[in-house]
Amino acid sequence: MRRSFKFLLRPTARQSVALAACLDDHRALYNAALEHR
């Protein structure tokens, strides 16, 4: 049986900027990997 957990994130403004930058980097990396295929 698998369990799942949901967490509510309430990042500060500084953390929101860091999360957005991290997501942008990962999106670019993922898209580059798809393009390479």
Q: What is the DSSP string of 6-18?
A: -------HHHHHH
Listed in sequence order, the residues at least 6 apart from 34 whose beta carbon sits closer than 8 Å to its beta carbon are: none
Q: How far apart are CA 26 and CA 31, in angstroms?
A: 8
pLDDT at 32: 97
What is the three-class DSSP state of 2?
coil
pLDDT at 20: 96
Token code pair at residue 19: 């999360």
pLDDT at 17: 97
pLDDT 10s digits, 1-37: 888 999 999 999 999 999 999 999 999 999 999 999 8
pLDDT at 2: 84
pLDDT at 16: 96
pTM for the model: 0.65
Specify whether the CB–CB gap between 26 and 18 falls below 8 A.
no
